[in-house]
Chain A
Amino acid sequence: MGSLHVDRVSVEFPAGRHAPVVVALKEVDLKIQPGEFVVALGASGCGKSTLLNLLAGFLSPSQGQIKLNDAVVSGPGADRAVVFQKHALLPWLNVIDNVAFGLKLRGMGKSARYDTARKHLVHLGLGAFETHPVYQLSGGMQQRVGIARALASDPEILLMDEPLGALDALTREKAQELIIRIWKDTSKMVFFITHSVEEALFMGTRLIVMSPRPGRITHTFDLDFGRRFLAGADARTVKASPDFIKMREQVLKIIFGDEEAAGGDHV
């Protein structure tokens, strides 16, 4: 079981013709331990996606480095699977071929990769949809296919950038419960970005709150609400408990403070 280490990483986007230099991340330190579910919250533009792109290997740091199991990350790879908000499935493949896509890229034979893909589809409640075209599925089901695809290549860490942002409220809560169950069953590391404070508190074992200009981690909280749910408590009961609400307001206050300092109402 590996761990992920972000070591004093800074990212500067150079000045464009109409834009000044943006320090998207400044000296960010973050360690994700085996089995941890780290959630990132923060005002728009505080560098959450930039951090995820670094972990995925789509972007290289201006300073510092990122290590997975002591090996420096230098590009994208199958040990770090990404789940996007949308548009990342391949509509020319059916459900099972989407899930098996990463295995096919590796040259795995058809029956072996279908076996693996099928296992993950069943796990995500999509067992009956193997041969469906993905573009006919609902948003929630598409997102589950995306998660199954990420899991199928058996990565060390799942990187998720607002994966539930496009779902309606009810589907979203169901998906949250599914994801923490999957996380518990697979005990993979997870790095999860969200805009919803409630989602963050419910799902993570650790919350990092980020601030913009320059992007950095300003607060860290250890969480155990998800574990209460996994231990058998009802999800809404957990989310309505007094300590959950207290923490939610505390975190909201931090984020609103950042939004106001940034000049208010731009979204």
Chain B
Amino acid sequence: MSDSKEPASKSFLDSIFKIRPTRPGEVYGVPGQGDSLMISAISGIAIIGFWALATSMGWIKPLFLPSPVAIFQKFIQVATEGFANYTLLEHTWISVLRVFGALALACATAIPVGLAMGMSRVMRGVFDPPIEFYRPVPPLAYLPLMIVWFGIGELSKVLLIFLAIFAPVAIGTRSGVRSAAIEQVHAAYSLGATPWQVLTQIILPAALPEIITATRIGMGVGWTTLVAAEMVAATSGIGFMVLSASQFLQTSTVIMGIFIIAAIAYAFDLLMRFLERKLVPWKGFA
């Protein structure tokens, strides 16, 4: 501890941690305050600008990195003419259907299983080992097994994504069971509730914020898994499009596909956040 030395580094850290009297609207001692939207916009534009500059000056060959304009033209072309028997919209639609099918299946099973695990010692004992065993395994590691068991069709892909989503949703639901305050449970019983009513009208709604968060995480995992699965075994879908384009060295299609994959992932997250605001507007209050 020195009192007078290191003034420069000290004041830098001080400014990060806001260890100085704050202006109105700031809070003393909270790191990372303030809006970063403007800076993010500038950062994004700068990256694209540098990309456009590098390609137009010929610093990088189009085979490795086509220009932004070339990628946009490829987007229009694939959207209208298609790629490998399907239009871009069809590839996207097939991928989205696979993910949502698996998500629906996972929610319909993982939420009851998670509730049962949270409510019952026996159920927790029964389901813990299988879930904890397969959860850390990357889904692609058991994709070959799925193909051996269920063939190369839709079933093996949907089941793979289903398994990827199932674990986070079941675990999130299970921990959500503990969200109900004991006072809420007691209040319900002293108003004459049956255990079933407590489960459906107290425990389940109280767990909803965590269930939605878990579903949001599951959605992210599911999308990642799907794209990877389509790269290994598929004749349609956005992941298939990217991989087969790379085999023909169509870099612009590859990059365009990556952008679409990112855009859809972002759209999913926006959708989940919208659902969260609609379904659990009380989150963060009570």
Distance A102 CA – B205 CA, assembled complex (angstroms): 16
Q: In the complex, are the beta carbons of A101 and B191 less than 8 A apart?
A: yes
Question: Which chain A positions have C-beta within 8 A of B206?
Answer: 92
Shortest C-beta distance, B108 to chain A (Å), equals 21
Q: A88 contacts which of B187, B192, B193 (Cβ < 8 Å)?
A: B187
Q: What sequence of 0s and 1s flags, for each residue 117-140 of chain A, a beta carbon within 8 Å of any chain B beta carbon?
A: 000000000000000011110000
Q: In the complex, are the beta carbons of B190 and A56 less than 8 A apart?
A: yes
Which residues of chain B from 180 to 230 have a CB within 8 Å of any chain A CB?
181, 183-184, 186-194, 197, 201-202, 205-206, 208
Residues of A within 8 Å of B, CB-based: how many? 30
Distance A159 CA – B191 CA, assembled complex (angstroms): 12
Q: Which of A79-87, A231-239, A244-252, A254-262 contacts B (4 or more CB under 8 A)?
A: A79-87
Asked whether A179 is an interface residue with its Cβ less than 8 Å from the other chain, the reply is no
Which residues of chain A from 45 to 69 have a CB within 8 Å of any chain B CB?
56-58
Distance A130 CA – B202 CA, assembled complex (angstroms): 21
Q: A102 contacts which of B183, B192, B194 (Cβ < 8 Å)?
A: B192
Q: In the complex, are the beta carbons of B183 and A91 less than 8 A apart?
A: no
Knowing A81-B191, A87-B286, A92-B205 touch, does A76 contact B186 (C-beta < 8 A)? yes
Q: Which of B60-68, B99-107, B277-285 contacts A (4 or more CB under 8 A)?
A: B277-285
Q: B191 contacts which of A57, A89, A136, A149 (Cβ < 8 Å)?
A: A149
Question: Which chain A positions have C-beta within 8 A of B286?
Answer: 87, 89, 91, 134-135
Q: In the complex, are the beta carbons of B190 and A81 less than 8 A apart?
A: yes
Distance A105 CA – B192 CA, assembled complex (angstroms): 7
Q: What sequence of 0s and 1s flags, for each residue 81-123 of chain A, a beta carbon within 8 Å of any chain B beta carbon?
A: 1101111111110000000011001100000000000000000
Which residues of chain B from 131 to 162 have a CB within 8 Å of any chain A CB?
none
Question: Which chain A positions have C-beta within 8 A of B190?
Answer: 56-58, 76-78, 80-82, 159
Q: Of all chain B residues, which has the CB nearest A106?
A: B192
Shortest C-beta distance, B24 to chain A (Å), equals 25
Question: Which chain A positions have C-beta within 8 A of B183?
Answer: 84-88
Question: Which chain A positions have C-beta within 8 A of B285?
Answer: 91, 135-136
Knowing A91-B282, A92-B280 touch, does A76 contact B189 (C-beta < 8 A)? yes
Q: Of all chain A residues, which has the CB nearest B181?
A: A87
Question: Which chain B positions have C-beta within 8 A of A80?
Answer: 190
Shortest C-beta distance, A47 to chain B (Å), equals 18
Knowing A80-B190, A153-B192 touch, does A88 contact B208 (C-beta < 8 A)? no
Shortest C-beta distance, B213 to chain A (Å), equals 16
Of the listed residues B190, B191, B286, the one surrounded by the most CB atoms of chain A closer than 10 A to its CB is B190
Q: Of all chain A residues, which has the CB nearest B187?
A: A88
Which residues of chain B from 68 to 100 have a CB within 8 Å of any chain A CB?
none
Q: In the complex, are the beta carbons of B282 and A135 less than 8 A apart?
A: yes
Q: In the complex, are the beta carbons of B202 and A90 less than 8 A apart?
A: yes
Q: In the complex, are the beta carbons of A84 and B205 less than 8 A apart?
A: no
Q: What sequence of 0s and 1s flags, for each residue 242-286 of chain B, a beta carbon within 8 Å of any chain A beta carbon?
A: 000000000000000000000000000000000000001110011
Distance A56 CA – B282 CA, assembled complex (angstroms): 29
Question: Which chain B positions have C-beta within 8 A of A159?
Answer: 190
Q: In the complex, are the beta carbons of B187 and A84 less than 8 A apart?
A: yes
Question: Which chain A positions have C-beta within 8 A of B194?
Answer: 105
Question: Which chain B positions have C-beta within 8 A of A106?
Answer: 192
Q: In the complex, are the beta carbons of A87 and B186 less than 8 A apart?
A: no
Q: In the complex, are the beta carbons of B187 and A82 less than 8 A apart?
A: yes
Q: In the complex, are the beta carbons of A88 and B282 less than 8 A apart?
A: no
Distance A80 CA – B192 CA, assembled complex (angstroms): 9
Q: In the complex, are the beta carbons of A102 and B208 less than 8 A apart?
A: no
Of the listed residues B187, B202, B281, B285, the one surrounded by the most CB atoms of chain A closer than 10 A to its CB is B187
Of the listed residues B181, B194, B286, the one surrounded by the most CB atoms of chain A closer than 10 A to its CB is B286
Knowing A56-B186, A84-B187, A87-B184 touch, does A105 contact B193 (C-beta < 8 A)? yes
Question: Which chain B positions have C-beta within 8 A of A84?
Answer: 183, 186-187
Distance A56 CA – B37 CA, assembled complex (angstroms): 53
Distance A134 CA – B183 CA, assembled complex (angstroms): 16
Of the listed residues B191, B201, B282, the one surrounded by the most CB atoms of chain A closer than 10 A to its CB is B191
Chain B residues near A (Cβ < 8 Å)? 181, 183-184, 186-194, 197, 201-202, 205-206, 208, 280-282, 285-286
- CB pairs A–B below 8 angstroms (8 shown): A58-B189, A77-B190, A77-B192, A82-B190, A87-B184, A90-B184, A135-B282, A135-B286
